[in-house]
Structure 1
Amino acid sequence: MKKIIKIQLFFLLSSLSVFSQGGVHSTSSKYEYPSDPQVKQKLESWRDLKFGMIIHWGLYAVPGIIESWSLCNEDWINRDSTSKYDEYKKWYWGLNSQFNPTKFNPESWAKAAKDAGMKYVVFTTKHHDGFNMFDTKFSDFKISNGPFASNPKADVAKYVFDAFRKENFMIGAYYSKPDWHSQYFWWDRYATADRNVNYDIRKFPWRWNQFKDFTYNQINELTTNYGGIDILWLDGGWVRPLETVNDEVRSWGARIPEWNQEIDMPKIAKMARTNQPGILMVDRTVHGPFENYRTPEQSIPKIKSDTPWESCITLGGAWGYVPNDQFKSSTKVIHSLIEVVSKGGSMLLGVGPTAEGTLLPEQILRLKEIGEWLNVNGEAIYNTRAIDAFNDKEVFFTKGKSKFHYALVRIPENQSPSAVISWTGNSPKAGSNVFLLSENLNLKWEKKANKTFVYLPSTLVEKYKSYPALALKFELQQ
């Protein structure tokens, strides 16, 4: 027990930094547009939303450690050197007997997300550790088969999706393709060396086919029994056809097996879209027809892209709940959102509930502050698209679907905006108005050469001290 406690404490300290070393997906320039008209329509609807929440919640919330990865043996994972690996796995998976989130209230999560101005949600139905947050019939390793089983909301995913659906959110189901608890993926006959399947698929094709059937059946459940699902968000990009392994995958530093880890995505996609016509498939990093949008992680691409993408960024330092996490300021999140949207993307903000099923007061406060800004400035964010000249220093630009463009002026934290806001290019139309969204006010402006100058009254300079950003609306000079 002392060893286990020591392991827990180590991960409490290390979980905030360890994720950035080995599990992060970078962005890629490769993209293939879907051909299905219903998928294309849903994709454009998703691109209008711009801001969503991803919720990591599972066994890892009980001790407050990094999600799943502590089970894995790779160079970037650190465990207490005196611990026995098999004991650690037994302890981790045994957390099922302690996971009893009696304060689980998904309506409060949905309200916090709505108050933040978010428009879609992605919920972890199963992470790599194989613990199911839905009432699957194909595994006993699930939230509905422990101390929470008698709770009316034991089929957790159902109630999460229902709560967010009632708030008119687009619904996304996160599902891990690898399953480290399954004997068809990590077989007890062999050691579990790393994130990959731990046996040679070529020698045991029956076992791998069982895993493929298992995966197909679980995704069939998710797309059949849980109401309307808009996004199937598939994580674990190392489970993929061997011929698709590229430099991006190699950069993760994990071993690349000699065998094919494909799970027949064409068959899965056909089934999912029969069950849920138009559903978006996000087979992360496996570029092609089943990655309907790309998902750079914990980063914002340096350049603009006209193809669909989403930056996945945590509110704190970890995806799930860890004690004493340090949360980003609302200003920092808003600044990131502005940059992401101006470059053509959406932002998926990671929030992790506690083991009891609650969000922390600090998380709720941050979300509320973000929403207060979006409530008055959201016109410059939602339903917009990127333009080629997307920024000039701290001024970022978006284009609405009508004739208007927007300039989003980021204000450094704890500072006042400049009385004279200026930028090069993207000039307002001569004789038109430059409108400050948060004040419903036309501002004085002028153009000198190729530079625009907008003048902010002194009263507003003082009023907007410590404000995240100003949003200006104008018609562009053609």
Structure 2
Amino acid sequence: MKYRIISLSVALFVSISVLAQQHSEQNHSKYVWPKDEQVKKKLDQWQDVKFGLLMHWGTYSQWGIVESWSLCPEDEGWCERRGPYANDWYGYKKAYENLQTTFNPTRFNPERWAEAAKTAGMKYMIFTTKHHDGFCMFDSKQTDYKITSSKSPFASNPRSNVTKEILGAFRNQGFMVGTYFSKPDWNVDSYWWPYFPPKDRNVSYDPKKYPELWKKYQDFTFNQIQELMTDYGKVDILWLDGGWVRPASTIDSTVSWQRTIPYSQDIDMARIAGMGRQKQPGLLVVDRTVSGEFENYVTPEQQIPDHYLPIPWETCLTMGDSWSYIPKENFKPARKLVQMLIDVVAKNGNLLLNIAPGPDGEWHEEAYVRLKEIGDWMQVNGESIYGTKPMAPYRQNQWAFTTSGKTVYASYLPAETETTLPATVTLPIAPGQSKVNLTILGTKQPLKWKKAGNGVEVTVPEKVRQQLAGKPAWVFKIS
């Protein structure tokens, strides 16, 4: 079926990559499409599932503070230290690392998380196996700074290897699963070498001057990732954070934070990716913000690009205000979260939504409520999300467009004050033929429509308006 679409200026398409670069501080023109057939197949699968769960969890949840960053000796808001050791960095670091001895998440129940995420319509999951602080949420043989260490009270729990338990629980629900892993590690001497106290987030010495020490760090990182790729079942995605750990040749001086990287920190991604794909054929590698062959999809953080992007991408954002657990969280309404998902998918992206477990091993109950509310909408409208492709004009005013086969979905995103659909709605696209079936998902009643300029004017019966009142968005199906 052919559609006549309200025209977009050529200038808009020319400006897409420029605007996206400004928006996410990354030059997406350097994206490299994978050549490995198994990776391409996995990437296609990932692009079809659209909606995923990210979880930040570690010892920091006990203090209800930002994940890892309070250890970083930078004068930034997210690095602010609090508490009795705030004015003594060394004392603070010692107290922070001593959290290992009290971390005991006895309410840990990953099956409940997986069930709730499935109910919401999520289909993939990324878990933080290690953040920048270096604390391993898996049974690494490379360090004793881990949840399975005898220093940690939870080590005696039969489910102490929480990464293995979480990946297994989500795989059992049919999810694609991934491991978040931080390339920098602020706990090991081969990264923050005590001889040179750290000044910022970067390695504390020049790897060119001390190549043996840097090689030790490369091997440490490789060995930990090899453990994750070997001992934890099928893994679909290796999601690497800490983009300042990168070769000097990849530093983009047009990006503000990259200008501050003092050294080349080449972690040898070819070696890591080669091993990962030997262990896990088709593995998606996401070396965040390092454009090139090891960034299979790009990951704008806490923001949605302004326009359609023609490459694989994923917005990662928080359900509340924080990536990590805080006692009183401000969760976004389900209406807003659903509209964000629609917006992302219409622009060719996936949405990775973060929920942070607490020190007891449980989510805020409100997070479960939000997932249930999202799931209620997805049960009815999921066909406009999963396996669809974006369709021009992608996003226009309150409209978002996707397509699957010969079917077009036009999603109407109501404003805050709108609780019911207008009695008359004008879709800014027009079918190329007169015999089409036009309905709203959630009701089977065919709607009357007529051409109006470059679009169509649709009449929505009062019964339908009331039946669908209060929904986060309404999806018109044209088939």
- Give the TM-score, by structure 1 length: 0.91
Counterpart in the other structure of 2:411: 408
Question: In the alignment, is the contact (CA less than 8 A) between 2:443 and 2:464 conserved in 1?
Answer: no
Counterpart in the other structure of 1:7: none
Equivalent position to 2:170, from 157, 161, 164: 164
Pair 1:424 & 2:423 matched: no
Judge which range, 465-474 or 228-237, deviates more.
465-474
Q: Distance in 2 between matches of 1:140 and 1:265?
A: 25
Counterpart in the other structure of 2:3: none
Equivalent position to 1:461, from 462, 465, 471: 465
Which deviations, in whole Å up to 9, do the C-alpha atoms of 1:151-193 show, x marking residues without a partner? 0001110000000000000011000000000111111112111
Counterpart in the other structure of 2:242: 236
1:26 positional shift: 4.2
1:421 positional shift: 1.7
Q: Distance in 2 between matches of 1:413 and 1:313?
A: 21
Counterpart in the other structure of 2:122: 118
Letter in 1 for 2:307: I
Which deviations, in whole Å up to 9, do the C-alpha atoms of 1:214-256 show, x marking residues without a partner? 01101110000000000000000100000100046x4227722
Question: In the alignment, is the contact (CA less than 8 A) between 1:293 and 1:308 conserved in 2?
Answer: yes
Letter in 1 for 2:384: A
Question: In the alignment, is the contact (CA less than 8 A) between 1:123 and 1:174 conserved in 2?
Answer: yes
Alignment of 1:125-274 (within 5 A): 125-145=129-149, 146-247=152-253, 250-252=255-257, 255-257=260-262, 259-274=263-278
Q: Distance in 2 between matches of 1:392 and 1:201?
A: 49
Pair 1:278 & 2:272 matched: no
Pair 1:36 & 2:36 matched: yes
Counterpart in the other structure of 2:10: none
Equivalent position to 1:90, from 81, 86, 94: 94
Which deviations, in whole Å up to 9, do the C-alpha atoms of 1:98-130 show, x marking residues without a partner? 100011000011011111100000000000000
What is the aligned-residue RMSD (CA, Å)? 1.5
Q: Distance in 2 between matches of 1:232 and 1:217?
A: 14
Alignment of 1:5-84 (within 5 A): 26-30=25-29, 31-76=31-76, 77-79=79-81, 83-84=87-88
Q: Distance in 2 between matches of 1:285 and 1:185?
A: 20
Counterpart in the other structure of 1:351: 355
Question: In the alignment, is the contact (CA less than 8 A) between 2:253 and 2:259 conserved in 1?
Answer: no
1:389 positional shift: 1.0
Counterpart of 1:83 in 2: which secondary structure? coil
Q: Distance in 2 between matches of 1:442 and 1:348?
A: 34
Counterpart of 2:154 in 1: which secondary structure? coil
Q: Distance in 2 between matches of 1:25 and 1:34?
A: 22
Alignment of 1:314-393 (within 5 A): 314-393=318-397
Counterpart of 2:153 in 1: which secondary structure? coil
Q: Distance in 2 between matches of 1:214 and 1:371?
A: 41
Question: In the alignment, is the contact (CA less than 8 A) between 2:179 and 2:237 conserved in 1?
Answer: yes
Which deviations, in whole Å up to 9, do the C-alpha atoms of 1:81-108 show, x marking residues without a partner? 9611111111111110110001100001
Counterpart of 1:174 in 2: which secondary structure? strand
Question: In the alignment, is the contact (CA less than 8 A) between 2:426 and 2:456 conserved in 1?
Answer: yes
Which deviations, in whole Å up to 9, do the C-alpha atoms of 1:41-71 show, x marking residues without a partner? 0000000000000000001111111001111
Judge which range, 436-445 or 81-90, deviates more.
81-90
Counterpart in the other structure of 2:11: none
Counterpart of 1:452 in 2: which secondary structure? strand
Q: Distance in 2 between matches of 1:398 and 1:299?
A: 21
- Give the TM-score, by structure 2 length: 0.91
Q: Distance in 2 between matches of 1:273 and 1:426?
A: 46
Question: In the alignment, is the contact (CA less than 8 A) between 2:410 and 2:477 conserved in 1?
Answer: yes
Letter in 2 for 1:403: K
Q: Give the direction of change, closer, same or farther, for the CA distance of 1:153–1:229 in structure 2 (3 Å limit).
A: same
Q: Give the direction of change, closer, same or farther, for the CA distance of 1:82–1:34 in structure 2 (3 Å limit).
A: closer
Q: Distance in 1 between matches of 2:343 and 2:391?
A: 12
Counterpart in the other structure of 1:395: 399
Q: What is the total number of aligned residue pairs between the two structures? A: 449
Q: Give the direction of change, closer, same or farther, for the CA distance of 1:121–1:78 in structure 2 (3 Å limit).
A: same
Q: Give the direction of change, closer, same or farther, for the CA distance of 1:339–1:69 in structure 2 (3 Å limit).
A: same
Pair 1:472 & 2:471 matched: no
1:426 positional shift: 4.8
Q: Distance in 1 between matches of 2:392 and 2:33?
A: 20
Q: Distance in 2 between matches of 1:208 and 1:100?
A: 34
1:447 positional shift: 1.1
Q: Give the direction of change, closer, same or farther, for the CA distance of 1:433–1:466 in structure 2 (3 Å limit).
A: same
Q: Distance in 1 between matches of 2:135 and 2:345?
A: 34
Q: Distance in 1 between matches of 2:96 and 2:432?
A: 59
Question: In the alignment, is the contact (CA less than 8 A) between 1:304 and 1:342 conserved in 2?
Answer: yes
Counterpart of 2:148 in 1: which secondary structure? helix
Extract unaligned runs of 5+ from structure 1. 1-23
Question: In the alignment, is the contact (CA less than 8 A) between 1:26 and 1:297 conserved in 2?
Answer: no
Q: Distance in 2 between matches of 1:429 and 1:303?
A: 29
Q: Distance in 2 between matches of 1:340 and 1:62?
A: 33
Counterpart in the other structure of 1:450: 454
Counterpart in the other structure of 2:105: 101
1:391 positional shift: 2.4
Letter in 1 for 2:73: N
Extract unaligned runs of 5+ from structure 2. 1-22
Counterpart in the other structure of 2:292: 288
Counterpart of 2:52 in 1: which secondary structure? strand
Question: In the alignment, is the contact (CA less than 8 A) between 1:104 and 1:356 conserved in 2?
Answer: yes
1:463 positional shift: 3.1
Which deviations, in whole Å up to 9, do the C-alpha atoms of 1:258-299 show, x marking residues without a partner? x31001101111100000000000000111110000000000
Counterpart in the other structure of 1:20: none
Counterpart of 1:149 in 2: which secondary structure? helix
Question: In the alignment, is the contact (CA less than 8 A) between 1:27 and 1:301 conserved in 2?
Answer: no
